[in-house]
């Protein structure tokens, strides 16, 4: 049966920014393809939240900060292994802007993450140390938003980490699999799927929402 939306549901749209979409410095293949369906789905939700990567120019996650190669290289940060990426979503640059075709005028919150120089933040809830909160959980609880539907990019990083952390923090989390796209580093999608299965996080198609 189709899922019926409730007043305590929210759609969380992850990082639909220029740099993560085709033509950007860390483009996720096909990321722009989901924008029309995202816009249409968002219109069904009373509550929509957006996230936005917001990095300083010398962020710890940038390969250029360490003189290393993006995608293939990692470093050991105080909080664990950090993948290294091309510079992306630098504060106050066009690449950090939400894509202009994203049309969700009733979005009630834009949460910026990854703005601290020495720590990355894939998750919308916790930075990569697993303890530093972004404040999103408190916002959701004060608004009595309980069931969260996740979409955007990238499935195997920011979408996945957000859904898993949301679940661990006591929210019901559902991933809209057709409205995400993955970076697809070696093993990253399989690992994300395994984590979802272990945590009991649902993956559904957006057409299943009434």
The pLDDT tens digits of the residues spanning 187-198 come to 999 999 999 999
pLDDT in tens, 160-189: 999 999 999 999 999 999 999 999 999 999
32-72 pLDDT, tens digit per residue, is: 999 999 999 999 999 999 999 999 999 999 999 999 999 99
Note the pLDDT tens digit of each residue in 97-151.
999 999 999 999 999 999 999 999 999 999 999 999 999 999 999 999 999 999 9
Do residues 10 and 172 touch, judged by C-beta distance below 8 A?
no
Determine the pLDDT at residue 199.
96
Residue-level pLDDT at 209:
96
Distance CA 205, CA 137 (A): 25
Is the pLDDT assigned to residue 78 strictly greater than 90? yes
Distance separating alpha carbons of residues 76 and 108, to the nearest angstrom: 36
Q: Are strands 74-77 and 147-153 parallel, antiparallel or unpaired?
A: unpaired
Residue pair 76/82 in contact (Cβ under 8 Å)? The answer is: yes
How much is the average pLDDT of 149-154? 98
pLDDT of residue 34: 98
15 is catalytic: yes
Delineate the domains of the chain, giving CATH numbers in brackets: 9-60+86-208 (3.40.50.850)
The values of phi and psi at residue 17, to 5°, are -110, 160
Listed in sequence order, the DSSP H helices in the chain are: 35-42, 63-66, 136-142, 160-168, 188-199
CB 10 within 8 A of CB 142: no
Instruction: Please answer whether residues 136 and 150 qualify as being in contact, where contact means their C-beta atoms are separated by less than 8 angstroms.
Output: no
Any idea how long the chain is?
A: 210
Residue 165 is given by DSSP the state H
Q: For position 178, what pLDDT does the model report? A: 98
**Per-residue CA distances from 189 to 76, 99, 155, 158 (Å):** 22, 24, 8, 12
Instruction: Give the integer Cα–Cα distance in Å for 179 and 41.
Output: 10
Task: Find the mean pLDDT for residues 75-95.
Answer: 97
Over 90: is that where the pLDDT of 1 sits?
Answer: no
Candidate list 19, 156, 158, 165, residue with the active-site label? 158
Residue 151 · residue 174 · CB < 8 Å? no
Q: Which of 9, 113, 156, 165 is catalytic?
A: 113
Single out the catalytic residue among 15, 32, 120, 156: 15
Question: What local confidence, expressed as pLDDT, does residue 177 receive?
Answer: 97
42 within 8 A of 11, measured Cβ to Cβ: yes
**Rounded to an integer, what distance in angstroms lies between the CA atom of residue 179 and that of residue 173?**
15
């Amino acid at each position: 049966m189709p899922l019926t939306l409730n007043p305590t549901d929210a759609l969380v749209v992850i990082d639909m920014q220029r740099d993560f979409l085709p033509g950007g410095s860390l483009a996720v293949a096909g990321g722009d393809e989901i924008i029309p369906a995202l816009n249409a789905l968002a219109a069904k939700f009373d509550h929509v939240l957006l996230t936005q990567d917001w990095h300083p120019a010398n962020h710890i996650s940038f390969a250029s900060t360490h003189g290393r190669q993006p995608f293939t290289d990692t470093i050991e940060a105080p909080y664990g292994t950090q993948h290294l990426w091309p510079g992306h979503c630098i504060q106050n640059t066009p690449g950090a802007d939400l894509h202009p075709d994203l049309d969700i005028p009733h979005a009630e919150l834009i949460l910026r993450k990854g703005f601290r120089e020495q720590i990355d933040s894939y998750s919308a809830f916790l930075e990569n140390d697993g303890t530093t909160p972004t404040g999103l959980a408190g916002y959701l609880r004060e608004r009595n938003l309980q069931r969260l539907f996740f979409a955007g990019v990238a499935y195997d990083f920011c979408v996945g980490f957000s859904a898993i952390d949301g679940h661990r923090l006591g929210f019901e989390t559902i991933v809209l699999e057709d409205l995400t796209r993955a970076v697809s580093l070696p093993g990253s999608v399989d690992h994300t799927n395994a984590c979802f299965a272990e945590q009991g996080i649902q993956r559904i198609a957006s057409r299943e929402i009434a």
